[in-house]
Structure 1
Amino acid sequence: MADLSTLARPYAKAAFDYANENGAVHEWEDFLLVASTVVNDKSFSTWLDNPAVSAEHKSAALVDLYDSQVAGDSDSAFKQLLGESKGSRYGNSISYPKVSPQLNNFVKQLAQQERLALLPEVYEHYRRHKAISLKQLDAYVTSAYPLTDEQRQMLQTRLATSLNASIVIHESVDPSLLAGATIKVGDKIIDDSMRGKLQQLKTQLTA
């Protein structure tokens, strides 16, 4: 039997091609991220494997959860998750549309073909299609202190210019860096932290 990644590829391509042609790339990506997170939950995956639950009920559960927890007015952990995926600290303040009829049909097809378990893999392949299409790169920034809005914007602009690509910044904080930050884009790492500079100095002095 083919592995999950291989099985997921055609679904991801079909999803991205449709979303890209219809200006709904971000909406589909948001849903796939949330659905993937839910499917990865052990209790929910056990429920999905229950043959007594109809395919229509399974797909409806995912869509209803998204519409209530993400497209609804109240704050939720899923909104925060989406905000973090976009490199934003303000996930709960963003407005998200409800699942479209086309996306709903896509989920129904996955359910009918017993492929909902592929959603995490579909999401990863979808993101790759998007990155290639939009020439988008993820930049993982670890700083000694939280970035200010000005620092974040300046960093994003500089990286976009130097790499000639759209940049999505993912932030984390590590006080042990003392000052400055490290930046990882693909297999490239830029160490502009105080800890890194001290290490370089130590290496030079002991060489």
Structure 2
Amino acid sequence: MADLSTLARPYAKAAFDYANENGVVNEWEDFLFIASTIVKDTSFQPLLDNPAVSAEQKSAVLVDLYDTQVASDNDSAFKLLLKNNQGHSHDGNVRYPPVSTELSNFVIQLSEHERLALLPEVYEHYRHHKALSLKQLDAYVTSAYPLTDAQRELLQSRLAASLNASVVIHESVDASLLAGATIKVGDKVIDDSMRGKLQQLKTQLTA
């Protein structure tokens, strides 16, 4: 069976294509972020897995939660979570519109095909499509030691030239890599670490 990421791709592309064509990219991103957070919560799982609850009812729960907790004048944990979402482009005084009929229909389609559990992956792919449309990509760099300013600038310029996009680097350190670094952009991973090279050598010797 295909993995969740593969199953989510066509839904994410359809969602982004519609949102981009109709000027509602941020609105759909906001909802997908909150909805993906909800479906990952263990308290939502019994409802998600309950065959006695219809697809329309399951999707209605997500829409109602967003409309009452985010698209309202009251402060809420979901609204704070959305404002603090890394990379979110809205300012602190933004008003969030209620879920549109088109977005609600999209959620119903996911529910009817028993795909609500894919929402976290749909959200990540949606963000990737948005970044591509803006010619901006996130590169997650894990290195054995903190990058120097020179290394960071060189890596950023090389990635930008290779990907033909502006690149935002997110750094983390993992001493177990021994040396070098791993770089993840979208679904692509480049392992240039000493640990990775040793593992490749071990695989070659035991093949």
Which TM-score tier does this pair reach, normalised by the shorter chain?
A: 0.5 to 0.7
Following superposition of structure 1 onto structure 2, how do residues 96-175 of structure 1 map, counting pairs within 5 Å? 96-137=96-137
Task: Name segments (4+ residues, structure 1) moved above 3 Å.
Answer: 90-93, 137-140, 163-170
Q: Are the aligned partners of 1:40 and 1:120 in contact in 2 as well (CA < 8 Å)?
A: yes
In structure 2, distance between residues paired with 1:91 and 1:44 = 30
Q: Are the aligned partners of 1:86 and 1:169 in contact in 2 as well (CA < 8 Å)?
A: no
Following superposition of structure 1 onto structure 2, how do residues 16-165 of structure 1 map, counting pairs within 5 Å? 16-85=16-85, 87=87, 93-137=93-137
Change (3 A) 1:103 1:37: same
Q: State how many pairs are aligned.
A: 152
Provide the identity percentage: 72
Once the two structures are superposed, residues 123-146 of structure 1 have per-residue CA deviations (whole angstroms, 9 ceiling, x without a partner) of 011011111111234599xxxxxx
Once the two structures are superposed, residues 20-39 of structure 1 have per-residue CA deviations (whole angstroms, 9 ceiling, x without a partner) of 00001000000000000000
By how many angstroms is 1:94 displaced? 2.2
Q: Are the aligned partners of 1:136 and 1:165 in contact in 2 as well (CA < 8 Å)?
A: yes
In structure 2, distance between residues paired with 1:86 and 1:98 = 22
Change (3 A) 1:139 1:77: farther
SS in 1 for 2:114: coil
Paired residue type of 2:123: Y
In the alignment, structure 2 segments of 5+ residues that lack a partner are 141-155, 171-182, 185-207
SS in 2 for 1:85: coil
RMSD: 2.9
By how many angstroms is 1:80 displaced? 1.2
By how many angstroms is 1:43 displaced? 1.5
Change (3 A) 1:86 1:55: same
Change (3 A) 1:33 1:46: same
Change (3 A) 1:124 1:98: same
Paired residue type of 1:10: P
Change (3 A) 1:87 1:4: closer
By how many angstroms is 1:47 displaced? 1.4
Once the two structures are superposed, residues 155-196 of structure 1 have per-residue CA deviations (whole angstroms, 9 ceiling, x without a partner) of xxxx9xxx79778899xxxxxxxxxxxxxxx77xxxxxxxxx
Change (3 A) 1:37 1:113: same
Paired residue type of 1:57: Q
By how many angstroms is 1:86 displaced? 5.2
In the alignment, structure 1 segments of 5+ residues that lack a partner are 141-158, 171-185, 188-207
By how many angstroms is 1:93 displaced? 3.5
TM-score, normalisation: structure 1: 0.65
Paired residue type of 1:4: L
TM-score, normalisation: structure 2: 0.65
In structure 2, distance between residues paired with 1:169 and 1:82 = 22
Once the two structures are superposed, residues 53-112 of structure 1 have per-residue CA deviations (whole angstroms, 9 ceiling, x without a partner) of 111100000000000000011001111111112557x97632100001100000010111
